[in-house]
């Protein structure tokens, strides 16, 4: 009878050598078919749970954003109220930088040169 082992899962007495996997020289407590069943079930659950997680996470994020939309808007409004010139200055600065970038450097130096010369000739006159 030592060749038989009772599976802890299905509680069936099965031939240990043929029906049970061995792990580190010892038979596992569950039979092969139960192990396979468990693995298949685990894999299937894992797959579906991953798919479920992905969908639910997306939904959660969407929900989170929707629920906090007002909060974000309030925060922005409060920030604007507290720093009314922040955005104005920011845009002004950006606009200025953009304009400066758009100006060709040689032209600017040339015009200042001409202006400088004009000033000098004006002074001479
Ligand atoms: Zn079993």
Q: Where are the domains of the chain?
A: 32-124
pLDDT computed for residue 35 by the predictor: 94
pTM, entire model? 0.38
* Banded pLDDT at 68 (limits 50, 70, 90): confident
Query: How many Å lie between the centroid of ligand 1 and the Cα of residue 47?
Result: 24
pLDDT tens for 105-120 read 555 455 554 555 555 5
Query: How many Å lie between the centroid of ligand 1 and the Cα of residue 49?
Result: 25
Query: How many Å lie between the centroid of ligand 1 and the Cα of residue 17?
Result: 14
Predicted confidence (pLDDT) at residue 54 exceeds the cutoff of 80: no
Query: How many Å lie between the centroid of ligand 1 and the Cα of residue 51?
Result: 29
Q: Measuring CA to CA, how many Å separate 14 from each of 1, 38, 109? A: 10, 18, 95
Query: How many Å lie between the centroid of ligand 1 and the Cα of residue 25?
Result: 19
Residue 34 near residue 43 (C-beta atoms within 8 A): no
Q: Please give the mean pLDDT across all residues of the chain.
A: 77
């Amino acid at each position: 009878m030592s060749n038989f082992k009772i599976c802890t899962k299905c509680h069936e007495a099965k031939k240990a050598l043929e029906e049970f996997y061995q792990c580190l020289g010892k038979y596992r407590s569950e039979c092969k078919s139960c192990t396979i069943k468990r693995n298949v079930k685990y894999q299937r659950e894992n797959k579906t749970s991953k798919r479920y997680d992905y969908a639910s996470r997306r939904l959660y994020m969407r929900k989170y954003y929707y629920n906090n939309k007002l909060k974000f808007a309030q925060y922005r409004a409060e920030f604007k109220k507290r720093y009314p010139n922040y955005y104005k200055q920011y845009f002004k600065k950006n606009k200025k930088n953009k304009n400066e970038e758009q100006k060709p450097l040689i032209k600017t130096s040339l015009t200042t040169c001409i202006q400088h010369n004009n000033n000098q000739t004006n002074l001479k006159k």
